[in-house]
Structure 1
């Protein structure tokens, strides 16, 4: 963070904005874990051992002080990684579904020796996105798009030599209707191999609730701006009609 210019010993706006997203996502997840790590050897500066200059070590220490002062102002639990793993296993017999709505941190990396040595760094701006994963798949949506930009299926896969990416699935929307009290639309999916999948509908959905959805499709309202549909593909074309009504 320091060498990329995202944070400094007196400015941790990037970390604050990133942590903001994690806090917001506690509204639709049973557990949200934020991992903060600092390599111990990077914080040592002696005559016999110095990975980074002394001013970098001091700046990193200042960043951590500011960050922990910030996060402890919220009702969170500070714990270790082993304890977090135990807490997760105590609540979940298998990988739990995770729903993460993310925003642009609005902080840009600097053009510096570190970023250029790493091949440069994207400067954004970055769109809002919705990230989902469970024991069967991983999906990533960009705001406004109903199909995932990234689609990975873990079903029937073994080993770690592949990223399990799946090809795009043709999806069309029919019979879209929106009034002051009702939203109705039908997704039509073409032929695709059997497996897990998901769709998203982005809109201002505050005050709406799902009033109709196929029984074999899970519907989740995320943050008042997204309806996420989790479904299973069986290899045949499908039509999925969803209805939202103002509560």
Structure 2
């Protein structure tokens, strides 16, 4: 059971809930961990179709999903996915990388560049490619898988923190840009999730299923933000609440 989330409906006058039953979803990074859990749960909740994006489609093993070759840092593959998946009305941006390195103590800025390329620019490339498709499909919805490190810093993982903070800011901006076409954009934050990416870390973790449930519950309710664990809920509450639009708008 997930904790009570910090949740805000979109837009301020109350968007109707996004119906997961009958949805057509594309999940990036869907061959394992959180991404695979997203495809499984979407089908369990009645989605009509789940495309599973992965750099190597042969690694997609979840029954009932449709593998798609997709490296979010490759513009040609992003464009090809958009051409193939023109019926998508739910885009789940899950693909990401985690080098667990500091900003100054690393031997170079290469890790920081790679994390920004995937976690920020890859996610942005997917939203840019699919925004017109979502618009044609009654607005639809976008999920962006973020982190508690979107809004708190941990110096040993400074490069990842920076990439997720940038991705959170981008998410809040594209939400405003897509509001006029009725696209719901939901940011999902949590602490560590028990996946291959974090297996070497002896720290508290939640399961991929808990993360996915928090994300899909929020989207189904038309909410712009979901916090998947208690630690993240506490950290988020320490921040000043950001309005959907700035006070001068």
Q: TM-score, normalised by structure 1?
A: 0.25
- Greater fraction strand: 1
Greater length-normalized contact order (CA 8 Å, ≥ 6 residues apart): 2
